[in-house]
A and B are shown apart, each in its own frame.
Chain A
Amino acid sequence: AQSVSQHNHHVILSEAASLELGCNYSYGGTVNLFWYVQYPGQHLQLLLKYFSGDPLVKGIKGFEAEFIKSKFSFNLRKPSVQWSDTAEYFCAAGTSGTYKYIFGTGTRLKVLA
């Protein structure tokens, strides 16, 4: 069955710490991968996406993610987090050409000033 797993449900970091959020997927066929972020009181918005090509993708606000096909992973990283990165982060996957996406259960990140 198709699935997306986020193993970290809650993460607490101090400002300037490095961040890595795990995402693993189980999908047949060509898969498109996304990270979305939901800041407090705001709607979900796209951080970055991977369709094909360079497995290291860069998104907004200094975030990047690496697609590792052999590990079925698409982990999100940021070298130095800021207080404003406090939010909930969702990994999502979908079969190329469709608009049916499976989301992970989300990771709540709290950054301490």
Chain B
Amino acid sequence: KAGVTQTPRYLIKTRGQQVTLSCSPISGHRSVSWYQQTPGQGLQFLFEYFSETQRNKGNFPGRFSGRQFSNSRSEMNVSTLELGDSALYLCASSPRTSGRANTGELFFGEGSRLTVL
């Protein structure tokens, strides 16, 4: 079973630009979450999508947005990039089933490393 795939793996942008990151979840997983990982801050929750709807949102400015498609693939977008947006952006998928099968476990991709100059 293929894991969570994130593209691109590395990218460099300049301040003011915008960026779109893509995430393909594990087949059959319908929930996709996004996290920002920076040294010293650990992982910070951005948002979670399930059935093409944003279910939860973290404390990030409106420049950070996302969406999910009918095939569960997800994209996140950051507009008007700032130097502080340099980070590893992690995508995680989960089956998000109900009842006893709901393990709550997140399956992470390897991340997209964004550098803003």
Contact = CB atoms under 8 A, between A and B. Distances in A.
Interface residues of A, number: 22
Which range contains the number of B residues in contact with the other chain? 20 to 34
A98 B54 CA distance: 12
A49 to B, nearest CB: 6
Contacts of A100: 33, 45, 48, 56, 58
Interface of A: 32, 34, 36, 42-46, 49, 51, 90, 92, 94, 98-106
B109 A43 contact: yes
A90 B43 contact: yes
B63 interface: no
10 contacts: A32-B104, A43-B108, A44-B106, A90-B42, A99-B33, A99-B48, A99-B50, A103-B35, A103-B44, A105-B41
B40 A94 contact: no
B3 A43 contact: yes
